[in-house]
Structure 1
Amino acid sequence: MKVAVLLSGGLDSSTCLAQAVKMHGSDSVFALNIQYGQKHQREIRSAADIARHYGVSTQLLDLSGIFAHSQSALLRHSENSIVHASYSEQLKALGGSGTVSTYVPFRNGIMLSAAAACAQSLGASDVWYGAHRDDAAGRAYPDCTPEFVAAMNTAIYEGTGHEVRLYAPFISMNKADIVKLGLELKVPYELTWSCYEGGDRPCGKCGTCIDRLEAFHRNGVRDPLETPEEV
């Protein structure tokens, strides 16, 4: 059985890849990394490092043109800056619900469609995707919700002639749960990258940095990318 894994180089997708490799073996796993016009290339490098660590075949696909008209703060052509606040604070400012400034319009839908096409071409039966409960909260990222995953699974299954399914193993888990699993799987988190700002060290202030640090601390361990002042 072959599976395709969307691999960004971040904590969630790297844990997803580790679980896929444990279940199916590295020879049966294909990793797809997407260039979507993001402001920095740090995650791209991490994805390559993670794929190399697990010995899986990988492909970098450029879909940046699709998002040329978006002003998401994640995109290099956008004039909007990354918000330095937790997701809960950002959602509170939105009245409790709504997309945050780092949401890229239907990004995950586009990526999963590309992954499904690659999976079917390679004879893979599943597309693995690391969406989790924290990203879905308040519909900050609506393309991470259980409703979206269910709809995309139906679309992929029907659109591939019942040959490929979508698998989101973390959809009912939070980030702390994922870190707990990753520690059990011995995921090399020092190779991953989550910060939206890029750079040599994580900023520790953007929403994803804050979530990541909290997830490690809730497991009673230090994030290997933590700077001394964050400990």
Structure 2
Amino acid sequence: MTHSPAPATVVIYSGGMDSFTVLHRALREGLDVHALSFDYGQRHRRELEVAARVCRELGVPHQVVDITAIHGLIDNSALTDASRAMPEGDYAEDNLTATVVPNRNMVLLSLAIAKAVNIGAGRVDYGAHGGDHVLYPDCRPAFVEAMNDVAGIANFAPVTIHVPYLRSSKAEILAEGLAMGLDYADTWTCYRGEDLACGRCGSCRERLAAFAAHGAVDPLGYAERPDPTAETERADPDAGES
């Protein structure tokens, strides 16, 4: 008896906690997963090394797309301009707006949709979540819904943008990953690309708060590890929703 091939999806995989969880969730659905990462000149390119290693270990097809040619179009951000000071502190519009990369997710999703059409995949997965809504417009439901509408009509073959954690907090994503037995030592979250995570940037602080909310210890190495009990309230599973 001939079996039909599993439906395919393209997972935008940065190497961070959220996309790591999305990747494993898609694998557990039994999908034919194709991981897609992007080098856009980010200061934290170490995430790409982590993504490549994880995909090798999982046997997942992985493509890193070099889009550094557009760096001059998106360099008005602390994430893409190494001469800028990296903001520190919790996620909030007043102190982390400098980390917004112009139009990043629209660019990345457009390329992922193209790959999906090219390989006959009906879906693109990415890891926007509720905690990002306060800061990043291209992680909010209105943007995702509009892009999903466009993905349905931009090609002869419609593609669905699947964002399983769109209204989930970082702590809720972590809870699902821990329940799946995932090892988050195989992720990179820090906005700095140094040997150890800094523990001070907004991305590190949000990650540490998520682990603290579950009474768990983050397995990643940190140059400076703040007191996790001070982060627990901010990482409450109901936080970050909109």
After TM superposition, give the deviation of residue 41 of structure 1 in Å.
2.2
1:6 matched to 2:12: yes
Q: 1:183 aligns with which of 178, 181, 191?
A: 178
Q: 1:117 aligns with which of 95, 114, 117?
A: 114
After TM superposition, give the deviation of residue 184 of structure 1 in Å.
1.2
- Structure 1, unmatched stretches of 5+, are none
Q: Deviations over 1:150-187 (max 9, x none)?
A: 01101111112342110000001010000001111222
Shifted more, 3-12 versus 182-191: the winner is: 182-191
Q: Which residue of 1 aligns with 2:76?
A: 71
Larger helix share, 1 or 2: 1
Query: SS of the residue aligned with 1:166?
Result: strand
1:141 matched to 2:145: no
Q: Deviations over 1:7-58 (max 9, x none)?
A: 0000000000000000024xx1000000011124210101112212322101
The code of the aligned residue for 1:55 comes to G
Contact 1:5 1:127 in 2 (8 A): yes
The code of the aligned residue for 1:182 comes to G
Q: Deviations over 1:38-84 (max 9, x none)?
A: 12421010111221232210100011222313320011x45212101
Q: 2:165 aligns with which of 166, 170, 175?
A: 170
Task: Name the % identity.
Answer: 39
In the aligned structure 2, how far is the partner of 1:32 from the partner of 1:229?
31
In the aligned structure 2, how far is the partner of 1:178 from the partner of 1:53?
22
Q: Which residue of 2 aligns with 1:106?
A: 103
Contact 1:2 1:24 in 2 (8 A): no
1:81 matched to 2:85: yes
Query: SS of the residue aligned with 2:99?
Result: coil
In the aligned structure 2, how far is the partner of 1:29 from the partner of 1:224?
26
After TM superposition, give the deviation of residue 230 of structure 1 in Å.
4.0
Q: Which residue of 2 aligns with 1:55?
A: 59
Aligned residues: 219
TM-score, normalising length: structure 2: 0.86
In the aligned structure 2, how far is the partner of 1:61 from the partner of 1:84?
29
In the aligned structure 2, how far is the partner of 1:136 from the partner of 1:66?
25
Q: Which residue of 2 aligns with 1:213?
A: 208
Q: Structure 2 vs 1, CA of residues 126 and 68 (structure 1 numbering), >3 Å: closer, same or farther?
A: same
Q: Which residue of 1 aligns with 2:128?
A: 131
The code of the aligned residue for 1:122 comes to I
Which structure has the higher relative contact order (CA within 8 Å, separation 6+)?
1
